[in-house]
Structure 1
Amino acid sequence: MTQDDFDLSAPELSEDDLLVVDDPHFDRDSVALVTGAASGIGRATAVALARNGLTVVGADVDQEGLDDTGAKAEELDAPGRFVGVETDLTDDEDVAAVIEAAAEEGALRYVANVAGMQHIASIPEFPMDRYDLLLDLMLRAPFLVSKLAMPHIRENGDGVGAIANMSSVHGHYATKDKSAYITAKHGIHGLTKAIAAEGEGSLRGFSVSVGYVLTPLMVNQIEDTAEERGLSERQVIENVMLGQARTKEMMTPAQVANLFTFGFSGHGQHLNGADMLWDGGYTTTYE
Structure 2
Amino acid sequence: MTLAGKTAVITGSNSGIGLGVARELAKAGANIVLNSYTDHKQDHALAEEIATNFNVDAKYVAADMSKADDCRRLIEEAGRCDILVNNAGIQHVAPIQDFPPEKWDAIIAVNLSSAFHTTAAAVEGMRANGWGRIVNIASAHGLTASPYKSAYVAAKHGIVGLSKTVALETARDPITCNAVCPGYVLTPLVEAQIPDTMKEYNMSREDVIKNVMLERQPSKEFATTEELGGTVVFLCSDAANQITGTTISVDGGWTAL
TM-score normalized by the length of structure 2: 0.90
Match of 1:66 among 43, 56, 78: 43
- Structure 2: which amino acid aligns with 1:44? G
Distance 1:188 1:255, change over 3 A: same
In 2, distance between residues paired with 1:120 and 1:221?
A: 15
Greater Cα shift, 132-141 or 54-63: 54-63
The alignment partner of 1:94 has SS state of: helix
- Please say if residues 89 and 111 of structure 2, whose CA atoms lie closer than 8 Å, have aligned partners that are also in contact: yes
- Please say if residues 168 and 209 of structure 1, whose CA atoms lie closer than 8 Å, have aligned partners that are also in contact: yes
- Structure 1: which amino acid aligns with 2:74? V
Question: How many residue pairs are counted as aligned between the two chains?
Answer: 252
Q: CA deviation at 1:109?
A: 1.2
Structure 1 residues without counterparts, runs of 5 or longer: 1-20
- Structure 2: which amino acid aligns with 1:69? L
Q: Deviations over 1:13-48 (max 9, x none)?
A: xxxxxxxx23xxx223x2111101111011111122
Q: Deviations over 1:117-171 (max 9, x none)?
A: 1111111111111111011001001001111110111111xx2211110011111
Match of 1:183 among 149, 154, 167: 154
- Please say if residues 109 and 162 of structure 1, whose CA atoms lie closer than 8 Å, have aligned partners that are also in contact: yes
Q: CA deviation at 1:63?
A: 2.6
- Structure 2: which amino acid aligns with 1:113? N
Match of 1:132 in 2: 105
Match of 1:218 among 190, 196, 215: 190
Q: Deviations over 1:165-192 (max 9, x none)?
A: 0011111111112111111110000000
Structure 2 residues without counterparts, runs of 5 or longer: none
In 2, distance between residues paired with 1:248 and 1:98?
A: 37
Distance 1:223 1:149, change over 3 A: farther
Q: CA deviation at 1:244?
A: 2.9
- Please say if residues 38 and 68 of structure 1, whose CA atoms lie closer than 8 Å, have aligned partners that are also in contact: no
Match of 2:136 in 1: 165
- Please say if residues 38 and 66 of structure 1, whose CA atoms lie closer than 8 Å, have aligned partners that are also in contact: yes
User: 1:44 and 2:20 equivalent?
Assistant: yes
**Where do 1:96-245 residues align within 5 Å?**
96-102=72-78, 104=79, 106=80, 108-156=81-129, 159-199=130-170, 200-219=172-191, 231=201, 237-245=209-217
Match of 1:92 in 2: 68
Task: Let me know the Cα RMSD of the aligned residues.
Answer: 2.2
Distance 1:222 1:168, change over 3 A: farther
Q: CA deviation at 1:72?
A: 3.5
TM-score normalized by the length of structure 1: 0.81
In 2, distance between residues paired with 1:122 and 1:222?
A: 23
Match of 1:268 among 228, 232, 240: 240
- Please say if residues 27 and 54 of structure 2, whose CA atoms lie closer than 8 Å, have aligned partners that are also in contact: yes
Q: CA deviation at 1:280?
A: 0.8
Q: CA deviation at 1:220?
A: 6.1
The alignment partner of 1:63 has SS state of: coil
Q: CA deviation at 1:223?
A: 8.2
In 1, distance between residues paired with 2:69 and 2:26?
A: 26
**Where do 1:17-32 residues align within 5 Å?**
21-22=1-2, 26-28=3-5, 30-32=6-8
- Structure 2: which amino acid aligns with 1:186? H
- Please say if residues 48 and 59 of structure 2, whose CA atoms lie closer than 8 Å, have aligned partners that are also in contact: no
Match of 1:56 in 2: 32
Match of 1:254 in 2: 226
- Please say if residues 245 and 280 of structure 1, whose CA atoms lie closer than 8 Å, have aligned partners that are also in contact: yes
Match of 1:7 in 2: none
- Structure 2: which amino acid aligns with 1:31? T
Q: Deviations over 1:29-83 (max 9, x none)?
A: x2111101111011111122122221111121123353242244145x2122111
Overall identity of the aligned pairs, in %: 33
- Please say if residues 63 and 86 of structure 1, whose CA atoms lie closer than 8 Å, have aligned partners that are also in contact: yes
